[in-house]
Amino acid sequence: MSADPIHAPNEVIHQSVRLKIMSALNALPRTESLDFARLKAITGATDGNLGAHLNTLEQAGYVKIDKDFVGKKPRTTAIITASGRSAFENHVAYLRDILDNISSS
Amino acid sequence: MTLTQDAAAAALREIDAAQAQSRALFNYSKASPYLVLWGTLWVAVGVMTAASPANTGWFWLVADLIGFAACIYFIRRDRPKVSQPRTLATFRFVGIALVIAGFFAAVQALFGPATGTQTMALAALMVSAIYMGMGLWVGARYVAIGLLLLALTFVGVFVVPDQAVAFISVAGGLTLALGGLWMRRA
pLDDT tens for chain B, 186 residues long, are 678 889 999 999 999 999 999 999 999 999 999 999 999 999 999 999 989 988 888 999 999 999 999 998 988 887 765 556 667 777 888 898 899 889 988 998 898 778 889 999 999 999 999 999 999 988 899 999 999 999 999 999 999 999 999 999 999 999 999 999 999 988
CA-nearest residue to B8 within chain A is A95
**Helix locations, B52-114, DSSP H:** 56-78, 86-111
Distance CA A92, CA A13 (A): 10
User: Does the beta carbon of B10 lie under 8 angstroms from any beta carbon of chain A?
Assistant: no
| Structural domain includes residue B36 | yes
Residue B70: the pLDDT is 94
Distance CA A103, CA B75 (A): 45
Residue A82: the pLDDT is 96
Distance CA A9, CA B8 (A): 10
| Structural domain includes residue B3 | no
Amino acid at B85: P
Distance CA A25, CA B19 (A): 8
Query: Number of structural domains, chain B?
Result: 1
Considering only the beta carbons, identify the residue of A23, A31, A42 that sits closest to B81.
A31
| Structural domain includes residue B9 | no
Residue A2: the pLDDT is 45
CA angle B138, B144, B148 (to 5 degrees): 140
| Structural domain includes residue B134 | yes
Distance CA A26, CA A11 (A): 17
| Structural domain includes residue B2 | no
Residue A105: the pLDDT is 55
| Structural domain includes residue B127 | yes
| Structural domain includes residue B6 | no
Distance CA B179, CA B183 (A): 6
CB pairs under 8 A between A and B: 80
Cβ neighbors of B157 (< 8 A, separation 6 or more) are B117, B121, B164, B168
| Structural domain includes residue B179 | yes
CB contacts of A31 in chain B (<8 Å) are: 80-82
CB contacts of B25 in chain A (<8 Å) are: 34, 38, 41-42
CB contacts of A21 in chain B (<8 Å) are: 18
The boundaries of the domain holding residue B118 are: 16-184
At A47-87, the pLDDT tens digits run 999 999 999 999 999 999 999 888 888 889 999 999 999 99
pLDDT averaged over every residue in chain A:
90
Domains of chain A: 11-99 (1.10.10.10)
Residue B84: the pLDDT is 61
**Chain B interface, mutation test: which of A21, A33, A42, A89, most B Cβ atoms within 10 Å?**
A42
Distance CA B116, CA B54 (A): 10
**Which ipTM did the prediction report?**
0.88
CA angle B34, A81, A74 (to 5 degrees): 55
